[in-house]
Structure 1
Amino acid sequence: MENGKNTPTPSPGALHTRWNPRLVMQIVALLLPNIVADTVMVAPLLVLPQVLDHFDTTQTAWISSGAMLAGAMWAPLFGKSADIHGKRRMLTVALLIACVGSLVCVTASELWVFVLGRMLQGAAIAAIFLTVAIVRELCAPRIAMPAVGAVATGAGFLGVGLTVLIEALAGRFGFQAVFAASFLLTMVAVACIRGVVPDPGFRTPGRVDVAGALLLGGGLTAVLGYISLGSELGWFSAVTLTLLGTGAAMLARWFLVSSRVPEPVIDIRNLGRPLLLTLLVVVLGSGAVQSMDQLLSLIAQVTPDRGLGYGLDAAGSLSLLFGVPAVGIIIGGLISGWIAARFDPSVSLAGGVLLGVVGATGMFVGATSFPAAICFAVLLNTSMGALTASGFNMAGELTPPERQGVVAGMVTVTSAIGSVGMSFVGAAVLSSTTVVVDGATMNSATGVFGYITVSVGVFLVATVPACLLLAHRRRAIRDLGAPPVADPTGPVDR
C-alpha cells in the first residue's frame, strides 16, 4: 500500500508476454520454495516409522499431516497479508517461519514439541500459493497458465533425487537429518527469491482479520483432534466430545463473524458458484491423493510374508516408491497448464479428477505389488499436479488482481483441509481395525483396503462438482463467445 491507495497495475508491456531467459530464471527461483514445501509435506513420510518409534506414539496423522493442518491456518493470514503488504515480502516471511519450525523438529525431545515444529513448518505450504500469485502478476494470461503449472508442480522433477538423498541422510544420521536438510534448503530459497524475483508491486488497502484466522484455525484443529483421538479414547468420551464441541463452536463463531466484519480472512459472501465448485473439487481430490501417500508410507516396509494380506517390502527402495511417482506431479501440472490455456481450466480440473479415480482404484492391486504401487502412484501424482495447477488457474481466472492473494490462499486452505481431513479419517480407519501378530499390533488388511475404498469414494464424489463446473463454463463460453474473465468488483458467476 502506498499512501493508502492501490499500487497502479503494471502496464501490459511490463508483463512477460513470451518465454525468455529472465522468466525462466525467475521460475527456477520460485520453484525453490515449492521444493521446500515438498520436503515439509513428503519427506517426513519417508521416516514416519522411525519418528513413531522415537516418540513411542501411534499418532500418525499428527506427525504426517501437522504441517498441512498448519498450512490451512497460515494460508488465510498470508493470503490477505500478501495483498496488503506484498507477495514477495510475505513469501520471505513464510519461509523464515518454516526455518524456525525445522530447527524445532531437529531438537524436539517430546512429541508435542515436534508437532509444534511441524505446525511452524506448515508456513512453507503458503509458499505454493504465493509463488503462483507472483507468477500471475509477472506474466500475461497466455503465458501465466503454463507458468503456473510449472511453478506449482515443477518440484516433482527433483523428487527422485531428493528422496534418495533424504533416505540416505536418515539412514546415517537419523530422522532429524531430514529436518536439518529442510532448514538449509529453505535458507537457500530465501536468498534466491530476494535476489532474482522482482516485487510485482500490487498493493491493496485493508487490514488482516487475525481473530477470524485464529477462530478458523483453532476450530479446524479441534475437530481434527476429535477424529484423531476418537478411536483411541472413545468417540463419546468427555475429552473427545469436548474437542468436537469446542471446534464446532469456534467454526460457528467464525462463520457468523466473517459475515459481518468488513474484511474477513475468507470472504464467504463473495464466493460465486464457479469458485465454490472449484474449491469443492480441490478439497476432495487433494485429500484423496495426499491420504494415499500416508498409506503407502505405512505399508511400504511391511513384508508379504507376514501374512497380513498386503505389503510391499520396500525397505531400501523408498526413493523409488516416492521419488519416481513425484515426476507425475510436474507432468500433470505442465499438461494441465497447456490445456487450461488452450481450452479452459475446468477441462484440466475434470481430467485430474478422472485420473485420480483410476489411480486410487488401482491401489487395490498396488497394496500387494511394488511395481503396481509405483505405476498407480504415478497416476495419483499426475492427478495431484493437474488438480493443483488447475485449481490455481481456475481461481485466478475468476478473481480480480487485487484479490489474487486471498483467493489463491483459499485454494491452499481447501487443499490442506482435504489432505489433513482424509489423512485423519484414514488413520482412524486403520487404528480401529488393527490386529495383533506375534505380539505386535499391526494394521489389518480390512483397514488398508477400507482406507483405499474411502479414497476411491471421495474421488467419485469429486466428479460431480467437476462436471457441474465444466458444464457451467461451457454454457458461459457459449453465451458470451469467450471464457468469462475476472470482474474488478468480485468473482465471476455467469
Structure 2
Amino acid sequence: MTDTLENPAVREHRWRGRLILWAAVLTLANVLADVVIGSPMMVLPQLLEHFDTDQAAWLNASAMLAGAIWSPLLAKSSDLFGKRRILIGTLLLACAGALVCLAAPNVWIFLVGRFFQGAAFAAVFLTVTLARQICTPRVAMAVVGVVTSGSSLVGIIEPFLMKPIIDVFGYRSVFIVAALLAAAAALCVRSFLPESPIRGTGRIDVAGALLLGGGLGAILGYISLGSDLGWSSGGMIALLTAGAAASAGWALRALRVDEPLIDIRALSGPILLTLLALVLAAGSFRSMLQLTSIIAQVSPDLGLGYGLGDGEAIAVLLATPNIGIVIGGVCAGWLAGRFGPALPLLGGIAVGAVATFAMLAGVSALPPAIACGAVIGMAAGAIGASGYNLATSLEAPERQGTTAGLVSVVLALGSVVFTIAGGEILKATQVPGTFADGDPASTATGVYLYVTMAGVLFVLAAVPAIILTRNRFPAPAGPGAPRRPESAAGR
C-alpha cells in the first residue's frame, strides 16, 4: 500500500467502528498464539501414544522454542517490509505448520510442523507495532492494551470448547482448528487492516538472524528441557554450549557489521531498563500462575500446610487470572494514553508484588487465593501491555518492530527461567509417597520459598520501573515530519 504517515485515513485518532474492527482483527491474530502454544497440551497423552514416544518435554516446548528462533528475523523484516505483510506471512506459516502436524507420519515431521507453528509467537509483537503505526499514540496505547490481553479470554473458554471436539475427532482436531483459525486471521488482516505507513531502510542480516535465533532457541531449550532430560546430560550440555556459542557469535557480529539484526550499540539506557523490568516481572507473574495451577490440584486434606483442590473451585481458580489479565491490560492501555506507559508499568509491578506476598496466606485458603490470582492476573496484563507500549514509545518508528520483538523475547526468557527455577525449588523440597499413587509433593516450606522468590522478583523489577517513572525520556523522531515528543512517564 502507498499510505503515508501524513494520511489521516491511516492514523486513527478516536474510537469508532473502524478502530473497533481493527482491534478485533488484531486480537484474533493474537488468539492464534495462545492456541498454538496451549491447545496441543490438551491432547499430549494422545500425541505420545500416537507417535510412540515418551519425549513429552520436546512436544511441549517445541513451538515456544521455535518462536524464539523466528522472532528476531520476523521483527526485523516487519520494519523493512511492513508489519501487516509480515503478520499475514506469519499467520500463513502457522497455518502450514498446523497442516504438517495434522498429517505428520512420525514425531520428527511433527516437530517440523511445530517449528512452523511457532512463528505464531511473533503475532503478538507484530500486532502491537502495527497498532502503534496505524493509530495516533494515545489511541494506539489503548489498542495495545486490548490486543495483548484480550486473547486471554480464550484461556477461559477454550477447554470447554475444545474438549467435546477432541472427544469426537481425536487429537487431530486441535490442529484442524489451529489451521482454520490461522487462515481466518490471515484473511481478516488482509481484508480489513491497512499496512503500516513507516518503513526502515537497509537489509536483513540473515547470518545474524540464524545465530541469534539458534542461540536463543538452544538456551531456552536447555532451560525448558533440562529438568526432564537431565541438566548435566551430554545432550543438554551440548545444547547449552551450542546456544552460548551462537549467542556470542551473534553479539560479536552485531558489533562489527553495519546493519545488524539488532543494533546493540543503539539500545538506549531507558530501553535496557524497560527490558530489565520486564524480564524480572514476567518471571514473577508467570511463576505465580504456574504455582496456582499446581496447588489447585492438591487437596488440603493431605495435611501439607497448603492445597486448594475442591472440585469445581479449581476451574474458578484457574480461570480468574485470565479475567484479571484482560482487565489489567485494557486499563493499563487506557492509562498509558493519558499518563504515559511507565506509570501503569510500575503500578502493575507494585500490585503484583502485594498480591504475591499476600499469596503466602492464599496457598491454604481458597477465597484469598482466588482474589490474589485475579490481582496477579491484572498485574500480568498491565505489565505486558505497558512493556510493549513503553519500549516502542522509546524507539524510532522505523525500528519499533525490532524493539517489540525484543520485548517478546525477554518476556519469554523471564517466564521460562523463573518458572523453571520455581519448579526446582518445589522439587528440592519434595516428600516422597505423599499422594495415594506414590507421587511426591513439595513441603509447605518449598511453596513459601517459591512465593517469596516471586515476590522478590517483583520488588527487583520495581527498581528500573521507578527510574523510568521518575525520568522523562523523549521518543526519537521518525522519518518525515517532526513528531511531538512522547514521554516514557507522561506528557
Give runs of aligned pairs for residues 33-72 of structure 1, distance below 5 A: 33-44=29-40, 57=54, 60=57, 62-72=58-68
Report deviation, 1:342.
1.5
> Could you tell me how far apart the structure 1 residues matched to 2:77 and 2:105 are?
34
Q: Establish whether residue 441 from structure 1 lines up as the match of residue 439 from structure 2.
A: yes
Give runs of aligned pairs for residues 243-392 of structure 1, distance below 5 A: 243-306=239-302, 308-313=304-309, 319-392=315-388
Report deviation, 1:415.
1.2
> Could you tell me how far apart the structure 2 residues matched to 1:111 and 1:365 are?
44
Q: CA RMSD in A?
A: 3.3
| 1:486 counterpart residue number | 476
Could you say if the C-alpha distance between residues 303 and 17 of structure 1 is closer, same or farther in structure 2, counting changes exceeding 3 Å? Answer: same
| 1:149 counterpart residue number | 145
> Could you tell me how far apart the structure 2 residues matched to 1:104 and 1:309 are?
46
Q: What is the percent sequence identity of the aligned residues?
A: 45
| 1:481 counterpart residue number | none
> Could you tell me how far apart the structure 2 residues matched to 1:454 and 1:260 are?
39
Instruction: Please say if residues 5 and 11 of structure 2, whose CA atoms lie closer than 8 Å, have aligned partners that are also in contact.
Output: no
Larger mean Cα displacement after TM superposition, 370-379 or 113-122:
113-122
Report deviation, 1:14.
4.0
Q: What SS does structure 2 have at the residue aligned with 1:15?
A: coil
TM-score, with structure 2 as normaliser: 0.86
> Could you tell me how far apart the structure 1 residues matched to 2:362 and 2:299 are?
14
Q: Establish whether residue 224 from structure 1 lines up as the match of residue 214 from structure 2.
A: no
Q: What SS does structure 2 have at the residue aligned with 1:378?
A: helix
Q: What SS does structure 1 have at the residue aligned with 2:261?
A: coil
| 2:482 counterpart residue number | none
TM-score, with structure 1 as normaliser: 0.85
Report deviation, 1:245.
2.5
Larger mean Cα displacement after TM superposition, 452-461 or 339-348:
452-461
| 1:464 counterpart residue number | 463
Larger mean Cα displacement after TM superposition, 292-301 or 335-344:
292-301
One-letter code of the match for 1:441? D
Instruction: Please say if residues 164 and 319 of structure 1, whose CA atoms lie closer than 8 Å, have aligned partners that are also in contact.
Output: no
| 2:178 counterpart residue number | 182
Give runs of aligned pairs for residues 65-80 of structure 1, distance below 5 A: 65-80=61-76
Instruction: Please say if residues 308 and 314 of structure 2, whose CA atoms lie closer than 8 Å, have aligned partners that are also in contact.
Output: no
Could you say if the C-alpha distance between residues 309 and 30 of structure 1 is closer, same or farther in structure 2, counting changes exceeding 3 Å? Answer: same
Instruction: Please say if residues 331 and 382 of structure 2, whose CA atoms lie closer than 8 Å, have aligned partners that are also in contact.
Output: yes
Q: Establish whether residue 412 from structure 1 lines up as the match of residue 412 from structure 2.
A: no
One-letter code of the match for 1:487? A
> Could you tell me how far apart the structure 1 residues matched to 2:305 and 2:442 are?
8
Q: How many positions carry a matched residue from both structures?
A: 480
Gaps of 5+ in 2: 480-484
Instruction: Please say if residues 392 and 408 of structure 1, whose CA atoms lie closer than 8 Å, have aligned partners that are also in contact.
Output: yes
> Could you tell me how far apart the structure 2 residues matched to 1:375 and 1:163 are?
22
Gaps of 5+ in 1: 477-483
Q: Write out per-residue CA displacement over residues 349-368 of structure 1, whole angstroms, 9 at most, x where no aligned residue.
A: 11111122133334444444
| 1:29 counterpart residue number | 25
> Could you tell me how far apart the structure 2 residues matched to 1:33 and 1:302 are?
35
> Could you tell me how far apart the structure 2 residues matched to 1:57 and 1:365 are?
37
One-letter code of the match for 2:211? L
Q: Establish whether residue 394 from structure 1 lines up as the match of residue 399 from structure 2.
A: no
Instruction: Please say if residues 320 and 377 of structure 2, whose CA atoms lie closer than 8 Å, have aligned partners that are also in contact.
Output: no
> Could you tell me how far apart the structure 2 residues matched to 1:311 and 1:63 are?
29
Larger mean Cα displacement after TM superposition, 97-106 or 122-131:
97-106
Could you say if the C-alpha distance between residues 405 and 51 of structure 1 is closer, same or farther in structure 2, counting changes exceeding 3 Å? Answer: same
